[in-house]
Amino acid sequence: MHTKLTHQFILSRRGLFTLGALTCLMIALLGPRPAHASEHAALWQKLGDGSHFAMIRHALAPGVGDPGEFELRDCTTQRNLNDEGRAQAQRIGALIRANGIAVANVYSSQWCRCLDTARLMALGDVTEMPAINSFYQRYQNRDKQLAAFNDWLNVADLSTPTILVTHQVVISAITDGFTSSGEIVIVRRNPNGAVSLVGRVETR
């Protein structure tokens, strides 16, 4: 029945118009579509040009948020990567190396699932960056963290490929875009200090 209804919908001129309108609306809402393999090279080449950096949502860690009494330095109290997430993090690193980036300046949220993702990528030393910590359950920290991130970005040397491993809520606040687990977004630092999302790479 589903196939029949879909067939009738597409054959209908009104249905075809509606489908096209919905597609355009989804593209507008979601921003740049995920890049295909043939488009990766152009995105990776932007990293290290002095004006672009990458943000990665941590690899797969099933669940939402963290237990109410979680502790930042105690991974057992947090939501963590599962086996699939750890394998995904390793694939992310392999994907980046396959596109010509063997070493990068890697920054990470202090949450264990982000640090584990960053380390498993194996692209170099990982520097903790409190400014990109999650504020999903600590919303009162949002404005302070975003201000600290902007201060960092204004002076950051992006002449070496730079990668930030963080959380959906942070990426959304900075780029206005939703990301899936392990998704990579390429971001441009504009001369006026604003940022623009220029490309997306899904890794699942």
Same domain? For 14 and 104 the reply is no
User: CA–CA separation, 77 vs 117, rounded Å?
Assistant: 17
- 150 and 65 within one domain: yes
- Structurally, the chain folds into a number of domains equal to 2
88 and 160 part of one domain: yes
Query: Do residues 89 and 167 share a domain?
Result: yes
Same domain, 54 and 138: yes
Predicted confidence (pLDDT) per residue in 133-184, tens digit: 999 877 788 999 999 999 999 999 999 999 999 999 999 999 998 999 999 9
**Length of the chain counted residue by residue:** 204
Q: Are residues 104 and 26 in the same domain?
A: no
Tens of pLDDT, residues 14-23: 443 344 443 3
Same domain for 14 and 46:
no
Task: Report the candidate in 150, 147, 197, 142 with the shortest Cα–Cα distance to residue 167.
Answer: 142
Domain of residue 11: give its range: 1-30
- On whether both 170 and 197 belong to a single domain, the answer is yes
Three-state SS letters, 31-47: CCCECCHHHHHHHHHHC
| Secondary structure string (H, E, C) spanning 158-196 | CCCCEEEEECHHHHHHHHCCCCCCCCEEEEEECCCCCEE
Q: At what angle do helices 142-155 and 168-175 cross, to 10 degrees?
A: 60
39 band by pLDDT with thresholds 50, 70 and 90: low
Residues 102 and 136 in one domain: yes
Same domain membership, residue 42 and residue 23: no
Question: What does the alpha-carbon distance between residue 200 and residue 185 come to, in Å, rounded to a whole number?
Answer: 4
58 and 24 share one domain: no
Under a CB-based contact definition with an 8 Å cutoff, are residues 34 and 178 in contact? no
pLDDT of residue 169: 94
The pLDDT assigned to 64 comes to: 86
**Residue 158 belongs to domain with CATH number:** 3.40.50.1240
C-beta separation of 141 from 18 below 8 A: no
21 and 70 assigned to the same domain: no
